[in-house]
Structure 1
Amino acid sequence: MPATAQMNSRSIESFNVIGTEPFWNVTIDKTGITYKTPDPQKITFPYVAPLSAQGKPADYVRVYPLRGRTSGTLVIRRGACSDGMSDRKYNYTATLVLGNTVRDGCAMKK
């Protein structure tokens, strides 16, 4: 079975994604994908099943296309990550692209 089919056939995975400098976060769950900042900016996208890399395990990378009044992409990749502000360790790195803005952060499953 191709990795994309494996990822799409699984139940919805929930994640918390955080970034610093500037602070931002994304939550992913069955209700949608929500981006927030402290200023308070909030953008909600409908949930879509993530794409995965061909030839790699489904857990290796998740690519969420973000569609709504703003479009973008959220990439969650398996690998150690530190938020740089605490001693907390995360099992995933994250890159968020919204318009012309690219932000890096860390992610963990809920």
Structure 2
Amino acid sequence: MKHAFRHACLAALLTLTACADRVAPDEITLPARAQQSEDWSRFLPALYPGLMACLNAHPAQPARADDVVPQNHGMILVRVTGADGASTDCQAGSGGTPAPRLEPAETRPLKGPAFTPATMAEPFAPCFLPEPVLTRDGRLLGWLSYRRPDCERGQTPVLQDNWRVFGNEPFWTVRIASDGIVLDRLGDLPRRYPAAPPESGERRRSWVVDPPDGNARDRLEVIITDRPCSDSMADRQYYHSAEVMFGGQTLHGCAERAAPIP
């Protein structure tokens, strides 16, 4: 009886989670890299329900997908890694049914890209670039991490001061890493700035950088303070608030340290 009750509770929990993650395929906006790719990521809108069902089925939450393989008869095979670092293979219907089934992870090449849901911190790893996946109204669903072809593993050190600064309505983000700073706004091309060390003060850190052409009108200033911040779109709380000054505008948002992944 106890086992039956436990299975009933798990089924109910997965149903509720699936409802929360339900997004229509035509509501998902893929980054340009995914639209032009020949890997599984170009099919992400159609695979999203099954992918999220597999991520939510891992016993150690939150979990990410290291690889997705579309299969026959509308099924997908997902390599899922949980918060405890343990990996499993998950089979599920691309639309969420049949329900996910977890199996021991088999040794096989992982072609990627990886998918990290928005319930986790933005991933950071040497030689990988995270591309945000959004809904049409600018809600962040997660990141697709693509390998950089010009980088060898171990070439770029993983530093502890990599940040994601972001806001909504419309969506914008600033990525601060050892190889540069990128301002990305919905509907605009990404603007890239050279890497720069922060100026640190009491409970705050700031960056002031000019673009490579030296045009002061495109100067970017980022201030991160140790003050709680709420992201209403994702219903999450963060430990850091942020201000970004660019082009005569001041953007207000949240910030978090990027999470290193293997």
Which aligned segments of 4 or more residues in structure 1 are displaced greater than 4 angstroms?
none
Shift, 1:72, TM fit: 2.4
Residue of structure 2 equivalent to 1:33: 181
Q: Structure 1 counterpart of 2:245, which letter? A: V
Picking from 205, 209, 217, the partner of 1:66 is 209
Q: Which runs of 5+ in 1 are unaligned?
A: 1-10
Q: Which amino acid aligns with 1:66?
A: V
Is 1:23 matched with 2:171? yes
Residue 94, structure 1, aligned to residue 237, structure 2: no
Give the TM-score, by structure 1 length: 0.79
Question: What is the aligned partner in structure 1 of residue 200 from structure 2?
Answer: 52
After superposition, what is the alpha-carbon deviation per residue over 1:19-78, rounded to whole angstroms, capped at 9, x for unaligned? 01221001111111101012132111111111122xx2xxx1011002114102100111
Letter in structure 2 aligned against 1:107: A
Question: What is the match of residue 129 of structure 2?
Answer: none
Secondary structure of 2:222's partner? strand
Q: Which residue of 2 aligns with 1:78?
A: 226
Give me the identity figure in percent: 28
The alpha-carbon distance between structure 1 residues 49 and 71, as it changes in their structure 2 partners (threshold 3 A), is same
1:43 alignment partner in structure 2: 191
| Letter aligned with residue 250 of structure 2 | V
Contact 2:228/2:237, CA 8 A, preserved across alignment: yes
Tell me the CA shift for residue 99 of structure 1. Answer: 2.2
Aligned-partner Cα distance in 2 for 1:100–1:44: 18
Corresponding letter in the other structure for 2:204: V
Q: Which amino acid aligns with 2:231?
A: D
Residue 12 of structure 1: how far off its partner (Å): 5.5
Instruction: Please report how far the alpha carbon of residue 86 of structure 1 lies from its aligned counterpart in structure 2 after TM superposition.
Output: 1.8
Residue identity in the other structure for 1:88: R
Q: Specify which structure has the higher proportion of helix.
A: 2
Q: Does structure 2 conserve the Cα–Cα contact (< 8 Å) formed by 1:12 and 1:29?
A: no
Question: Is residue 2:250 matched to residue 1:107?
Answer: no
Q: Is the partner of 2:242 in helix, strand or coil? A: strand
- Count of aligned residue pairs for this structure pair: 95
1:49/1:64 contact within 8 Å kept: yes
Say whether the 8 Å CA contact 2:219–2:247 is kept in structure 1. Answer: yes
| 8 Å Cα contact 1:16/1:109 also seen in 2 | yes
Query: Larger Cα Rg: Structure 1 or Structure 2?
Result: 2
For residues 66 and 96 of structure 1, the distance between their equivalents in structure 2, rounded to whole angstroms, comes to 12
